[in-house]
Structure 1
């Protein structure tokens, strides 16, 4: 009986939020990990993607990334840090960095411990963001969206162990 309860709890933990299931009906949990800085928990992250997802070409597949925060940050600080991380993947012109930071600042909210932000990446289109179940907005810039999700999924990420944890599921593995 204990096994059934544990199995049921595991299934619940491996079920994406309803708005992600709607956008990505075949989405499964690919991996999860924790971002730490100087030993402090910053957020827990979970990656949702379809069965054909390939990490080496992450920008070609729709996916969702969920961040559960353990610390408070302003949306402006998150946007600034995002631009710094995006620049690790390749240089930006000052005008592009400014434009992208403005776009991110417009949709990224201030967060408190316990807040969950979820981003849906749509290749060739852009991205949509939610706080909990509440839609925050969209950014219709395919390159910004790809590079934003590259913060976690690019081989040039500043957090390779978190990337490995998010990409832990083996292709062809069951849900």
Structure 2
């Protein structure tokens, strides 16, 4: 199963879901703008000093405007396909779209979505610190977080800020 609702055991906060939560700290922060419009501010959290797609991490996005969950899903799948090309067959993209639809809700200005990436397991998602679900597909989780952290990201300056590097 690619996605599932969190059970009462999963009713923890995103900080609790991140391994070594007590040692976690913000690695970096930056804004995403599209044609000059502020869309969101993102923060990257991890227990270690550097974060990679091979380490547990949390990405928190605070939205500056309202967006439908469907728009978030559509944009995420489009970016995953742009970055991976034919490596993501139509059947896989459809399965991933369904999984993301279960965990990405509509957002309004000021809302926070947080994804906790667990490399060998998948990811857990929270909206304003309320669990929205989990993805039990490590490949989808990696592809999703790569949207922000992979060198092929559409927002290289944001990536640099998130990783605590000089842009």
TM-score, with length taken from structure 2? 0.85
Is 2:82 aligned against 1:88? yes
Structure of higher RCO (CA pairs closer than 8 Å, 6+ residues apart): 2
Alignment check: 8 A CA contact 1:70 1:113 kept: yes
SS at match of 1:156: coil
Aligned to 1:5: none
Q: How does 1:129-148 map to 2 (within 5 A)?
A: 129-148=125-144
Q: Output the CA distance in 2 between the equivalents of 1:169 and 1:163.
A: 8
Q: Output the CA distance in 1 between the equivalents of 2:106 and 2:37.
A: 19
Is 2:96 aligned against 1:100? yes
* 1:2-37 deviation line (CA, Å, top 9, x unaligned): xxxxxxxxxxxxxxxx82432332211100000000
SS at match of 1:151: helix
Is 2:50 aligned against 1:53? yes
Q: Output the CA distance in 2 between the equivalents of 1:76 and 1:128.
A: 18
**Superposed structure 1 runs of 4+ greater than 6 Å apart:** none
**What's the RMSD between the two structures over aligned residues?**
1.6
Alignment check: 8 A CA contact 1:62 1:122 kept: yes
Is 2:84 aligned against 1:123? no
Aligned to 1:79: 73
Alignment check: 8 A CA contact 1:69 1:112 kept: yes
Alignment check: 8 A CA contact 1:88 1:156 kept: no
Say which of 43, 60, 73 aligns to 2:40.
Answer: 43
TM-score, with length taken from structure 1? 0.81
The answer to which structure has the higher helix fraction is 1
Structure 1 unaligned residues grouped into runs of 5+: 1-17, 171-175
Is 2:26 aligned against 1:29? yes
Structure 2 unaligned residues grouped into runs of 5+: 1-11
